[in-house]
A = this chain, B = another copy of it.
């Protein structure tokens, strides 16, 4: 009953097997390994984007911060949701990597930026020499509230941004979960919806620690490589990153893992919603459940070893429960039984 985070889970056997295979023999270092070329080719294919440039890093914070720094100058504003990961959970990595850009916080219910709030924030950000300039947009999908933007929702935001000349990033730490939730293709969710650069997450969905940065405009490729190296995020034994991501894409493993996680969350949400004295805070659309339940349920769950995060705030008993690829129905059902008393 580990619902604390998807990053408390391990990796599925396919990934571990790929790592062990990749360990054989010698391989060129720093991304010159044979598997990396394959990863790029397959991602181009998958995204129907034959010119896209793909680079791997080991953490989501690195992927996001490098992507933002690639498109936003030091004097730029990055428009993001008030509770975006880049704003709340990265200890200022975007500011560090961009050399001082400013995150402008945009409101919106259930973790989703409201288009009118975005428009207002952009317009309020001035264009005189005294102002931090309008820099770029970043959209998190799955959101921090566990909700999902459909491609049309993304396009509504990027259209506003693009009307002001702003490039657009998607923080897809849970990209697979968003695709599974919406049925969208990778292309529909990204460049066809106005996205210039994607953090394509793997770690939360079953890898040991790999994220792909997908840059749809190849003119930026070399600058990205320099920024990555300079930040210490270019791996010498890069083959281990490549191997994980290649296996992740094999036979749709990445989508199957996400499906499993989303399904567990749906089961959990359904059970929770039906409990007396319990409820859901946000619509459950991917692999995270935000809700609340009574104190005695908490006591029993914790006593039985359940791990999850309390969310101190207005609603007593509020929690975040995250399911991962390896959450079982038995875990979910046992947890529901415990909290229902």
A→B interface (CB under 8 Å): 2, 4-5, 7-11, 16, 19-20, 22-30, 57-66, 73-75, 88-93, 95-103, 129-133, 203-204, 208-209, 223, 225-227, 229-237, 239-240, 307
Q: Please name the residue on chain B nearest to A211 by beta carbon.
A: B232
Minimum Cβ distance to chain B for residue A202 (Å): 11
Closest beta carbon of chain B to A72's beta carbon, Å: 11
Among B28, B63, B233, which residue has its beta carbon within 8 angstroms of that of A8?
A: B28
What is the bound-complex CA distance between A60 and B229, given in angstroms? Answer: 11
Also in contact, A231 and B101, with CB within 8 A (given A24-B10, A58-B58, A209-B237): no
A4-B7 Cα distance, complex, nearest whole Å: 36
Task: Evaluate contact between A129 and B234: CB separation under 8 angstroms.
Answer: yes
For A60, A64, A234, which residue has the most chain B Cβ atoms within 10 angstroms? A234
A8/B23 in contact, CB under 8 A: no
Report Cα–Cα, A11/B23, bound state, in Å. Answer: 6
Given known pairs A100-B100, A229-B130, A232-B231, the reply for A237 and B91 (CB within 8 Å) is no
Query: Which residues of the other chain, B, contact A102 by a CB distance below 8 angstroms?
Result: 92, 95, 102-103
> How many copies are assembled?
4
Nearest chain-B residue to A61 (Cβ)? B232
Contacts of A131 in B (CB 8 A): 88-89, 91
* B contact residues around A95 at 8 Å (CB): 74, 95, 100-102
Check if A29 sits within 8 Å of B10, measured CB to CB: no
Closest to A89 in B: B130
Asked if residues B240 and A208 are in contact (CB atoms below 8 Å), the reply is yes
In the assembled complex, the Cα of A103 lies from the Cα of B132 at a distance in Å of 12
A29 touches B7 (CB 8 A): yes
Query: Looking across the interface, which residue of chain B has its beta carbon closest to that of A236?
Result: B7
Q: Which residues of B contact A133 (CB under 8 A)?
A: 91, 226
- Within 8 Å by CB of A74, from B29, B99, B225, lies B99
The one of B93, B98, B208 in contact with A230, judged by C-beta atoms closer than 8 angstroms, is B93
Complex Cα–Cα for A151 and B74 (A): 36
Which one of B59, B99, B226, B239 lies within 8 Å of A233 (CB-CB)? B59
**How far does the Cβ of A122 sit from chain B's closest Cβ, in whole Å?**
15
The interface centre, meaning the residue of A63, A90, A91, A98 with most chain B CB atoms within 10 A of its CB, is A91
Sorted from nearest, which 10 A-B pairs have the closest CB atoms?
A62-B232, A95-B100, A61-B232, A7-B236, A2-B26, A10-B23, A91-B229, A91-B230, A99-B99, A7-B29
Knowing A26-B307, A235-B59, A237-B7 are in contact, say whether A100-B92 is a contact too (CB < 8 A). Answer: yes
